[in-house]
Amino acid sequence: MAYDYTKRTDLKGDVDKQKQAHKVLKEITFKPALPQRGYNDRTLYVNLTDLTIEERPVTQQMKDKFIGGRGFGLWFLWNATQASTRWNDPENELIIAPGPLAGNTQYPGSGKSLVVTLSPMTDIPIDCNVGGYFGPLMKFCGFDALEIQGKAARDVILVIDGPKGRIAIEEAPLENVDSHVAAEVFTHQYADDEKDLPNVSVVSAGRAADHTRIGCLNFSWYDLRRKATRLKQAGRGGTGTVFRDKKLKALVVHGFPVKGDQNNPADLERIARIGVKMHKELHDFDDSQCHMRRQGTAHLVEIMDAYDLLPVHNFQYGNHPDTPRINSQVWDKRFTQGIPDGCWYGCSMACSKGADEHQVMTGPYRGHSNTVDGPEYETAAGVGANCGIFDPDWLLECNFYCDVYGIDTISFGTLCAFCMECWQRGILNAERTGGLEIKFGSGPAQLELMHQMAEGRGFGLIAGQGVARMKKIFAEKGWGEAQLLNDIGMEVKGLEFSQYMSKESLAQQGGYSLTNKGPQHDEAWLIFMDMVNKQIPTFEDKAEALFYFPIFRTWFGLNGLCKLPWNDIEPADNARTPEPAKVPEHVQNYCELFAGITGREIDRHELLRMSRGVYNFQRVFNLRQGKGQRAHDRPPYRAVGPVTVEEYTSRAERYDKQLKEILGVDPAGKSVEEKMALTREHREAQYEKLMDAVYKRRGWTPNGVPTLETLKEVGMDFPELVAVVEQHL
Amino acid sequence: MITVNGDPLEHEEGLTVQGILEAKNYKFPLLIAFVNGKLVKREDYRTTVVPDGAVVQITHLMGGG
Ligand code: SF4
């Protein structure tokens, strides 16, 4: 059929003709099945080099030790690779795994897939938690995970078709690789008819993933009300870059119509009961709490600005007078309201907002009218405030092209802000950028940088390597001093920071830098507890928070759950509980959900034990790959304190007060440089003490290596892990 | 003078919990307020008068992130 994609892409194309050009390279039949108590006990392995497609069993040990999702992904990756493996070696794998709880439609936030691979940014495992229908639909075809290894010779797609009992690797030469088009085209190619469209989900990366290390993956779902595909991103660490390096154009799953009991849960009534309780809570309180249903996470923009936490001009400052131009009121109007925007069935938090009818201003889709998926807070803060761009139209434009081209908005925002500061400080100029005037506040320059990345040309090729590599390149070329570049380049382990200011929160400096994958806020977000509430004043308190929260939050990724319904909504009597920050009632819900689906009763201690094993496993994995030690856990100074005179002066009252009250130094008569040096010495020493305290609490050596006792305690004392650790003791 | 999360804040006659949130620019929606150790419900923020010398804790839950 000739299909008119005007809703989503303004492109017209003949999907059938494109499909006819496919060449089947390998095809197998399989018997679709539904999981029992959340597990299929079967995974799918695909090798794109030798065209192997095979089913593999899930062992009881895998379920006990790694649970599912991110745990399965890490375990497969560990076994498939070696210490010397890099992201673009054929043996690197890309794993997509929902977890045992994924796909239930009773509890909000239950449709996540976890993507795991060796990252082109960090050379260690990256894990991303992503919505969209792919993982659950694949699970209900009969697979707990998809493992993709090898590299194809030409662009291919992998098709998992449950109703037809068919898995195939097909060459697909004609389809557009850009995600908004690819998702539409492949969805229509593999759905049987109009009614069947929601049963297809597509994973794709756009053309920029071919030329940058920050390529992301887009996971689609079919939005019945908009009659268009929508996209959610596995954003961090270059998953899309690995995908395109394997010459994957798309993964397509064609599943069965979704029903509420497809996990064959142990106790459907029990999960329905806690689901109803959560839906009521969201219904009753979201409008007076976080407005997730109207504004998504974009509601945070003005809140972060109010607390001096919104990154502005490459994390130099924490607020800006123009923030109201991109705050939640603006997005409330831009987002189409009245449409429940859940990225999986049954998610009544429904925060995956869409801005419809964005008129594209630049690039190959100029003049088209499109739905933009977002912006979420991270995007508004990163490509907006952090780059000094406070124009909602440019922000939507950037969000649109990031998704279309397959670019991580968080890394892009941070690296673009870094380039802009380099311009401000004369490290970059028109000669060095090939004429691109990459200045703070310039939406057109930001978009030009993005188009260059997409087309693999000009300065975009350098910027697309990420902040860590740019720092090195700029220093080697003698464009700037290495010390300054290292201070202002916001990356740890090779991954760019996400969009929160951590200067005034020592705990959050650890929340970012003492992470497994790099500075992403999904392990621990402690700024309020630490900086505002002052609930964790001592090193031991901070270490306890940096023990508990990363471990607890790992559990979402093991099970295929979304973190947002845990603490972006609060039960009525949460305030009366002894530890409201942990939202104990919701933690109890998760224990019940796990028991209700898998039949295995757990309590909050067991929940932590499950995560702690995988968390330590990932640390040892990092160690095997050459990272995972103290030297890799230090933040750039910009994340810790004021690097420049302007930064110090802008908050001089705060810093002077700290000198007096904390260090007992009278700032009067001292130059700003002297005061900055004292502040730096103090703050860096504090961070070293924090590392000591956190490592101790986590059961690691002062060098950040899990001890043998810890491995034993968490059930990860496999000989091969012990062997890695022993090299570092 | 009162203290809010350990920091001093000038006291004014008739100061309410809501007045403290405004003075401190506490805009985050998921807050828990204690005045001298006693929980104040959200619906009472505007009517609860805070006495001079009070120890006030405004706990922000995490959200976001
Ligand atoms: S809360 Fe938002 S991101 Fe999470 S599952 Fe629901 S719609 Fe998706």
Domain positions in chain A: 5-254, 290-496, 506-569+603-726
Which of A107, A377, A562, A563 gets mutated to test ligand 1 (max ligand atoms within 8 A of its CB)?
A562
DSSP A60-122: HHHHHHH-STHHHHHHHHHHH--TT--TTSTT--EEEE--TTTT-SSSSS---EEEEEE-TTT
Phi, psi of A412 (to 5 degrees): -60, -45
Burial (Cβ within 10 Å: 0-12, 13-18, ≥19) of residue A461:
middle
A520-557 in b/e form (b: 16+ CB < 10 A) is bbbbbbbbbbbbbbebbeebebbbebbbbbbbbbbbbb
User: Is the model's pLDDT at B59 over the cut of 70?
Assistant: yes
Separation CA A425–CA A423 (nearest Å): 5
Which ligand 1 atom is the nearest neighbour of the CA of A562?
4
What's the half-sphere exposure (Cβ side, CA atoms, 13 Å) at A88? 11
d(CA A76, CA A636): 32
A296: CA distance to ligand 1 center in Å?
9
Strand partners, A495: A492
* Cα torsion angle, A81, A87, A89, A95, sign: positive
The answer to whether the CB atoms of B65 and A525 lie below 8 A apart is yes
Nearest to A387 by CA among A438, A430, A324, A331: A438
Cα separation, A414 vs A427, in Å, equals 17
Q: Which residues pair with B4 in a beta bridge?
A: B7, B56
Nearest 5°: CA angle at A379, between A376 and A380? 85
Q: Out of 3.60.15.10, 3.20.20.140, 1.10.10.10, 3.10.20.30, select the CATH number for domain B2-60.
A: 3.10.20.30
Contacts of residue B44, defined as CB under 8 A and 6 or more positions apart, other chains included, come to: B17
Cα pseudo-dihedral A180, A302, A383, A519, rounded to 10: -100
Picking from B29, B39, B60, the nearest residue to A532 by CB comes out as B60
Rounded to whole angstroms, how far apart are CA atoms A314 and A56?
A: 46
Q: What is the mean pLDDT of each run of 10 residues along chain A (729 residues)?
A: 50 81 98 98 98 98 98 98 98 98 98 98 98 98 98 98 98 94 94 96 96 98 92 97 98 98 98 98 94 93 96 98 97 93 96 93 92 95 98 98 97 98 98 98 98 98 98 98 98 98 98 97 92 95 97 98 95 91 96 98 97 98 98 98 98 98 96 98 98 98 98 98 97
Q: State the virtual CA torsion across A413, A415, A420, A424 in degrees, nearest 10.
A: 140
DSSP-assigned states of every residue in A32-57: ----BTTB-SEEEEEETTTTEEEEEE
pLDDT at residue B62, as a whole number: 76
Q: Which long-range contacts (CB under 8 A, 24 or more apart) does A700-708 make?
A: A700/A619, A701/A728, A701/A729, A702/A630, A703/A629, A703/A630, A703/A728, A704/A619, A704/A628, A704/A629, A704/A630, A704/A632, A704/A633, A705/A619, A705/A623, A705/A628, A705/A629, A705/A729, A706/A616, A706/A619, A706/A620
Give the pLDDT of residue A3. 47
Ligand 1 pocket test, pick from A112, A114, A343, A376 with the greatest ligand atom count within 8 Å of Cβ, gives A343
Q: Which of A528, A535, A568 to mutate to test the interface with B (most CBs of B within 10 A)?
A: A528
User: Which tens digits make up the pLDDT trace of B25-39?
Assistant: 999 989 999 999 999
Count of beta carbons in the 10 Å neighbourhood of residue A82? 10
Top mutation candidate among A114, A286, A349, A586 for ligand 1, by most atoms within 8 Å of CB: A349
Q: Which residues contact A729 (CB under 8 A, 6 or more apart)?
A: A701, A705, A707, A708
**CATH number, domain A290-496:** 1.10.569.10
The answer to whether B32 faces chain A, any CB pair under 8 Å, is yes
- The three-state secondary structure class of A4 is strand
CB atoms within 10 A of CB A510: 27
A131 CA from centroid of ligand 1 (Å): 7
For residue A589 the two structure tokens come to 């819900």
CATH numeric code, A506-569+603-726: 1.10.599.10
CA distances from A1 to A18, A20, A148, A479, A562 (A): 11, 12, 31, 55, 37
Residue A550 belongs to what H/E stretch?
helix A539-559
ipTM of the complex: 0.93
* Strands across the sheet containing B38-40: B7-9, B2-4, B55-60, B31-35, B38-40
Distance between CA atoms of A432 and A104, rounded to whole angstroms?
52
Strand arrangement, sheet containing A217-223 = A23-29, A166-171, A156-161, A248-254, A200-204, A217-223, A228-234
A574 touching chain B per CB within 8 A: yes
Nearest residue to A110 (alpha-carbon basis) of A233, A278, A353: A278
B64 chain-A contacts, CB cut-off 8 A = 297, 300, 303-304, 377, 525, 568
Q: What is the pTM of this model?
A: 0.97
Which residues in chain A touch residue B41, judged by CB atoms under 8 angstroms apart? 575
Contacts of A319 in chain B (CB under 8 A): none
- pLDDT attached to residue A2: 45
Is the CB of residue B58 less than 8 Å away from at least one CB of chain A?
A: yes
Q: Shortest Cα distance from B54 to chain A (angstroms)?
A: 16
Q: Which positions 497-536 of A are in contact with B (Cβ < 8 Å)?
A: 500, 521-522, 524-529, 532-535
Confidence of residue B65 (pLDDT cuts 50, 70, 90): low
Report, as an integer, the average pLDDT of B46-61: 96
Residue A136 is predicted with a pLDDT of 98
> Is the per-residue pLDDT at B45 higher than 90?
yes
Give the nearest ligand 1 atom to A342 CA: 7
- The answer to whether B45 contacts chain A (CB < 8 Å) is no
Right CATH for A5-254 from 3.90.120.10, 2.40.320.10, 3.60.9.10, 2.40.50.140? 3.60.9.10
Which two three-digit tokens encode residue A638? 């910009």
Q: Is the Cβ–Cβ distance between A15 and A197 less than 8 Å?
A: no
A237 pocket-lining for ligand 1 (C-beta < 6 Å): no
- Listed by number, the residues of chain A in 285-344 with a beta carbon closer than 8 Å to a beta carbon of chain B are 288-290, 297, 300, 302-304, 306-307
Q: Does A273 touch chain B (CB under 8 A)?
A: no
Q: A575 and chain B: CB distance < 8 Å anywhere?
A: yes
Q: Where are the alpha helices (DSSP H) in A599-665?
A: 604-624, 645-650, 652-661
DSSP string for residues in A317-358: BS--TTGGGGSHHHHHHHBPPSS-B-SSTT-TT-B--EEEEE
| Minimum-distance CB partner of B64 among A525, A532, A576 | A525
Interface size, chain A vs chain B, as Cβ–Cβ contacts under 8 Å: 70
For A166, the 3-state DSSP assignment is strand
Q: What's the pLDDT score for residue B64?
A: 60
